[in-house]
Structure 1
Amino acid sequence: MTDYNDQSNLQQRPALATQAIKTAIYNGDEVRLKALLTNEVFDELEKNHFVELAKESGNTNIVKLLEDTPATP
């Protein structure tokens, strides 16, 4: 079983971090999402993807949180 909050595991496996972020978005888990976004910098495409997922879920707080996350062009 994978512990999505294990930071060393998430840093070594970027796909795991992406899945954990998507899961937090779908579940509306703002606290977990904030923890997962700590020290994350996405590219614009990835960030836009996460924002769109959040908009589909209808949670405006998560949308705002993701929109405020830094991204590289």
Structure 2
Amino acid sequence: MTSEQPEQDSRSFMHYAALKTAIVRGETQLVKELLGNQSMQALEKGYLLDLAKLNNNGTIIALLEAVPVTA
């Protein structure tokens, strides 16, 4: 493990937290920017999709469904 690992994990966690907040608030453009061309794990994607479905935001749901899943 390198000294950069904790900083990278912290950024990843903050990015995920920002994504969750944007989904809950219905901030479609910010969700699109935060997703970028990234992939995510199936569990993360499922959780974020559940959040979007609770808000019934079809645009955000479609954005999340298009995200590729990593192993």
- Structure with the greater alpha carbon radius of gyration: 2
- Give the Cα–Cα distance (whole angstroms) in 2 for the partners of residues 71 and 11 of structure 1: 19
> In percent, how many aligned pairs have the same letter?
37
Offset of residue 13 of structure 1: 1.1
- Give the Cα–Cα distance (whole angstroms) in 1 for the partners of residues 11 and 32 of structure 2: 19
One-letter identity of the residue aligned with 1:52: D
Please, which runs of 5 or more residues in structure 2 have no aligned partner?
A: 1-6
- Match of 1:5? none
- Give the Cα–Cα distance (whole angstroms) in 1 for the partners of residues 28 and 52 of structure 2: 11
Runs of 4+ in 1 over 3 A off after TM superposition: 9-12
Please, which runs of 5 or more residues in structure 1 have no aligned partner?
A: 1-8
Structure 1 length-normalised TM: 0.79
- Match of 2:39? 41
> Which gives a bigger RCO, structure 1 or 2 (Cα 8 Å, sep 6+)?
2
- Give the Cα–Cα distance (whole angstroms) in 2 for the partners of residues 31 and 11 of structure 1: 24
One-letter identity of the residue aligned with 2:34: L
- Match of 2:16? 18
